[in-house]
């Protein structure tokens, strides 16, 4: 039991390691798409705890980024997003239970998996730097580098850059410190800085016991499902299969060895399917696992399912106590702090390519990276699959 669940400062620090990916998309989908705040964080908390108990190791919980990014950019309706959650859940359940995902894995070269991990890591680093510079989509839409702080700059220097640079230095100094874990120090320090620089949250009127509402927006219509299928689900599928299943299960085995025996492609698909069914019922967002999230948790100290219980319990408690006012609590944390977490998580993930051996493998991995940066990860994954299989032919060289 002790190997499966540890509750200490390192596990807590690691539990906070993926907030940089989770919070910006979650908060933006609440503000711009009208998703139910309580239901969203309640489903996240439940998914964290349930997956931790089932798999027995650290398991990441992340938003589906293709759906999230497009939905936020186009101010899509909550009904359309919920329809995509249900459709993704159905698809993942079918792919997992029929064993189709195992066939996809057998056809996927190792270089493609490493390319997906490299590309995801690069995207995390890029996203983190944007948070620190104040140029992310969320900050641009809010027209402020730190939307919830009273101070936006010190002279010509954005306050986000100053906070981010300081947090990055602290992280470098403490990254392998077991007494003062970097993730815990940086997040706690970030909240303190946020309060000091004007971030406020009035908890007086929010405290209480809040009961979640099932299907808070009703059941989506046929038009919502049709739109969601072509605009959200089909573009998301390659990324989910590549990053949230194949790259994730591979990385889990690399980190945890025999302890990750339950983290199979089939189980990952079924786990995400039920998470999306539950999120759909509560008015939340599409959820998945992911290699980037696992790298973040692991690098900042999470090694057991205890981290899942702690972060999941935190989200559940805040959702039940604060209800839809939960978003205000997270506004105390500066965006640049989330950016620092993303940068270090991304760096950890990019290093997985170090076990590649041939020029062809490195070519495929970097090709996926280039296509991802110029287009998207789904396109990179598909192109990598094609080129990776072609390069198995000995007459072709790079």
| Predicted pLDDT of residue 203 | 65
**What is the mean pLDDT, run by run of 10 residues, along the chain of 398 residues?**
84 93 90 93 97 96 89 89 97 96 91 92 92 90 90 93 96 92 94 90 70 92 94 89 93 95 96 97 95 93 96 96 89 92 91 91 95 89 92 85
pLDDT, tens only, 279-321? 999 999 999 999 999 999 999 999 999 999 999 999 999 999 9
Query: CB–CB of 113/368 below 8 Å?
Result: no
The residue to which tokens 């039920």 are assigned: 274
CA atoms within 13 Å, Cβ hemisphere of 128: 29
For 366-372, which contacts have Cβ atoms below 8 Å and span 24 or more sequence positions? Answer: 366/115, 366/118, 367/115, 368/112, 368/115, 368/116, 368/118, 368/119, 369/115, 369/118, 369/119, 369/122, 372/119, 372/122, 372/123
- Containing H/E element for 12? helix 9-15
| Predicted pLDDT of residue 94 | 97
| Predicted pLDDT of residue 206 | 65
CA distances from 38 to 26, 42, 131, 327, 367 (A): 11, 6, 25, 9, 41
pTM of the model as a whole: 0.89
| Predicted pLDDT of residue 32 | 86
Query: CB–CB of 300/157 below 8 Å?
Result: no
| Predicted pLDDT of residue 231 | 87
CA distances from 301 to 63, 94, 295, 304 (A): 22, 34, 10, 9
| Predicted pLDDT of residue 66 | 85
């Amino acid at each position: 039991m002790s190997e499966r669940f540890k509750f200490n400062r390192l596990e807590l620090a690691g539990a906070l390691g993926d907030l940089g990916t989770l919070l910006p998309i979650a908060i933006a989908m609440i503000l711009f798409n009208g998703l139910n705040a309580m239901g969203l964080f309640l489903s996240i908390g439940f998914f964290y705890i349930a997956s931790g108990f089932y798999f027995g190791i650290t398991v990441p919980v992340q938003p589906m980024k293709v759906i999230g990014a497009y939905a936020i950019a186009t101010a899509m309706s909550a009904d359309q997003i919920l329809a995509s959650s249900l459709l993704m859940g159905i698809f993942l359940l079918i792919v997992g239970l029929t064993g189709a995902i195992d066939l996809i894995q057998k056809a996927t070269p190792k270089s493609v998996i490493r390319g997906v991990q490299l590309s995801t890591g690069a995207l995390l680093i890029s996203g983190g730097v944007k948070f620190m510079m104040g140029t992310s989509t969320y900050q641009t839409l809010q027209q402020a580098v730190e939307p919830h702080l009273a101070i936006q700059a010190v002279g010509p220097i954005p306050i986000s850059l100053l906070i981010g640079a300081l947090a990055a230095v602290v992280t470098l100094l403490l990254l392998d410190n077991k007494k003062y874990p970097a993730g815990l120090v940086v997040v706690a320090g970030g909240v303190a800085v946020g309060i000091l620089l004007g971030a406020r949250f009035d908890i007086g009127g929010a405290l209480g016991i809040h009961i979640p509402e099932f299907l808070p927006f009703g059941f989506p219509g046929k038009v919502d499902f049709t739109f969601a299928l072509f605009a959200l689900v089909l573009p998301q599928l390659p990324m989910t299969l590549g990053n949230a299943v194949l790259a994730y299960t591979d990385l889990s085995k690399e980190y945890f060895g025999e302890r990750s025996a339950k983290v199979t492609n089939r189980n990952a698909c079924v786990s995400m399917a039920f998470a999306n069914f539950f999120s759909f019922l509560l008015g939340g967002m599409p959820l998945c696992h992911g290699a980037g999230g696992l790298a973040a948790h692991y690098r900042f100290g999470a090694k057991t399912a205890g981290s899942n219980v702690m972060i999941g319990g935190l989200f559940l408690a805040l959702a039940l106590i604060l209800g839809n006012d939960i978003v205000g609590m997270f506004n105390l944390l500066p965006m640049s702090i989330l950016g620092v977490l993303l940068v270090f998580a991304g760096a950890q993930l990019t290093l997985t390519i170090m076990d590649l051996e041939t020029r062809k493998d490195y070519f495929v991995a970097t090709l996926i990276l280039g296509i991802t940066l110029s287009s998207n990860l789904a396109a990179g994954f598909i192109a990598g699959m094609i080129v990776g299989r072609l390069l198995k032919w000995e007459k072709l060289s790079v």
